[in-house]
Structure 1
Amino acid sequence: MRTFAVGDIHGGLKALTQVLNKIEVKEEDTLIFMGDYVDGWSESAQVIEFLIELSQKIHCVFIKGNHDVWCENWLSSEDVNPIWYIHGGKETIESYAHFSKDEKKQHLEFFENMPLYHIDNENRLFVHAGFTSMHGVEKEVFKETLYFDRTLWEMVLNKDSNIGEDSILYPNRLKHYKEIYIGHTPTTNFNSDIPMHAANVWNVDTGAAFKGKLSIMDLNSKEVFQSDNLPALYPDEKGRNKD
C-alpha cells in the first residue's frame, strides 16, 4: 500500500492527470490532497469533477485550502469576494459556465465535506497552510489559520538545525507529529522547483499556480513525481500572477 501527498493543483487538470499517470495510481493507494484545487488555470470546475470521480475508485483525503473556502462561499451564495476574484476566482467562475445547478450543488457538498486537517495512523499531520498553537493543530483557536498560516513554514526554515527535540529551544508545535505536510506557500518562492524539507515539515506546493510544476510525493520512499511546468501545459493562459 502506498500513500502519496499531492500538492496544490489550482485548476491544472492536465498536470494532475499527467502526474497520476506517472505514479500509475492503483486502487489500494491512498492519495492525500493538500488543498487549493481551484483558482489559477482554466479547469478548476473540471478538477473538482475529476476528483469526485477519482474518490469513488481510490481512497482519497481532500484537505481544504484557502482558495477552496473562497470557491465554496461563492457556490453557496453566488457572492463574489473581490480578493478571491483577482487571485484566480475569475478563472474559476468561468470554468463553471457550462455546469448545471445540480452539478454545482454536488461540488458545493464536496467542498463542505473537506476536513481542515488530517492525522493518519502513523501520526503524520496534513494541513494546507500551518498552525500556530504550541499544543497542536487540534487546539488551534482560529480555524482560518489552518488554511492561511505561513509562520510554521517560516519558522522551520529559520530554525537552527543544531537544536534537537530534547532542547527547551525546540519549537513545541513540531513535537506533536512524526511528520507535517503542507502546501500553500510555493517552494518556487525559495528558488526550488521540488518539495522542500525542514525539521519534520515537508512543503509539497511547487508552484503549480504560477510557473512551477504539480508534485506528488510517496510518503514512505520520499520519491517525487512531477508534471511539466504548468505554462507549458496551458500555453495560451497566464495562470495566477499573485499568491
Structure 2
Amino acid sequence: MPGRLLALGDIHGYPAPLDALVEAAQIGPDDTLVTLGDYVDRGPNSRRVIDRLIALESRCRLVALRGNHDLMFTEALNILDEDSTRFAEFWNEPLLRIWAQCGGFDTIESYGSLEEVPPEHRAFLDRLVNWHETDNLLFMHANYDPLLPMASQPSDLLYWTSLHHSVPDRHHSGKTAIVGHSSQKDGEVLDLGHVICIDTYCYGGGWLTLMDLHSGQLWQADRRGQLRTVPAT
C-alpha cells in the first residue's frame, strides 16, 4: 500500500485508539499521516499520546498540525518558563483558566507536573505546524477564511472557530478542506463536499477516525481501542 495520504482526527489524550488505528491500517514508511491536532487534554494519558506521535515520526512521514488544546499546553509551558510565580497563581491567568476548563489538569496529571514535561515533548510541540496543503487538499485543525491563502489565515479560525458556528464556503483554491475540532457527537464523519470533518468525538464516547484521502477508506476505534467495522464508501 505505497504512497497513501492519511488523516487522523482529534486524539485528546487517548493512546489506545491511536495504537489500534496505526496497527489496523498498517501505517508504514511510504505513508503520509496528517494528524489534525488536539493530542492532549480530557483523556487519561496525554503524555503517552505524545510519546506515540514522536515514535510515529520514524515509522511514516508524519505531518502533525497544532490544535487549540496543544496551543494552550504550549502557552502554559511558556508561562511557567517565563515566571513560575505567575503559574503558581494559576487562576489569575485567563489562558490557564480556559485550559483548565478544557481538560488541562488531565494533561498535567499525566506528566505529574508541568515541570516534568520532557524536552523531547516540548520539542515536538514546537515543531507542530499550523496547516498543510497538497495539490488537491487543505488541512487545518478548525476552520478557514475561503478568500485567504493558507499562509494568511487568522489564528482564531485555524484553531478555534467551530463548524457548528460557521461553515465556510469552498476555499478560493478549489481544494477540499480536511478538519477536526468540531466534534461530531453522532460519531460519524461530516462530509459537506468542500469540507470534511473527522473529529468523531472520541473523548466523549464516539470514535477516533483515520481516513485514507485517496480511497476514502475509514478506520475507527473507541477510547478503549476497540475497532469499529466501517462500511466501505
Q: TM-score, normalising length from structure 1?
A: 0.80
RMSD over aligned Cα atoms: 2.2
Per the TM alignment, residue 84 of structure 1 is displaced from its structure 2 partner at its CA by 0.7
In structure 2, what is the Cα distance between the partners aligned to 1:39 and 1:152?
21
Per the TM alignment, residue 74 of structure 1 is displaced from its structure 2 partner at its CA by 2.0
What does residue 152 of structure 2 align with?
Answer: 139
What does residue 110 of structure 1 align with?
Answer: 124
Aligned CA distance change for structure 1 residues 174 and 153 (closer, same or farther; 3 Å): farther
In structure 2, what is the Cα distance between the partners aligned to 1:90 and 1:135?
36
Where 1:202 maps in the other structure, the secondary structure is strand
1:220 and 2:214 matched: yes
- The partner residue of 1:76 within 52, 75, 78 is 78
Q: Which residues in structure 2 correspond to 1:21-40 (within 5 Å)?
A: 21-40=23-42
What does residue 92 of structure 1 align with?
Answer: 107
In structure 1, what is the Cα distance between the partners aligned to 2:147 and 2:164?
11
Q: Do 2:19 and 2:225's aligned partners in 1 also have CA atoms closer than 8 Å?
A: no
Q: Do 1:130 and 1:152's aligned partners in 2 also have CA atoms closer than 8 Å?
A: no
Per-residue deviation, residues 184-236 of structure 1 (Å, max 9, x unmatched): 00111xxx3121110311101000121111000000111110002x2x569xx
Structure 2: 5+ residue stretches without partners? 81-86, 91-95, 227-233
% identity of equivalent residues: 29
Aligned CA distance change for structure 1 residues 96 and 27 (closer, same or farther; 3 Å): same
In structure 2, what is the Cα distance between the partners aligned to 1:72 and 1:16?
22
Per the TM alignment, residue 99 of structure 1 is displaced from its structure 2 partner at its CA by 8.7
Per the TM alignment, residue 124 of structure 1 is displaced from its structure 2 partner at its CA by 1.0
Q: TM-score, normalising length from structure 2?
A: 0.83
Per the TM alignment, residue 133 of structure 1 is displaced from its structure 2 partner at its CA by 5.1
Q: Do 2:108 and 2:114's aligned partners in 1 also have CA atoms closer than 8 Å?
A: no
Structure 1: 5+ residue stretches without partners? 157-170, 235-243
Per the TM alignment, residue 98 of structure 1 is displaced from its structure 2 partner at its CA by 7.8
The code of the aligned residue for 1:75 comes to L
The code of the aligned residue for 1:211 comes to G
Where 1:181 maps in the other structure, the secondary structure is strand
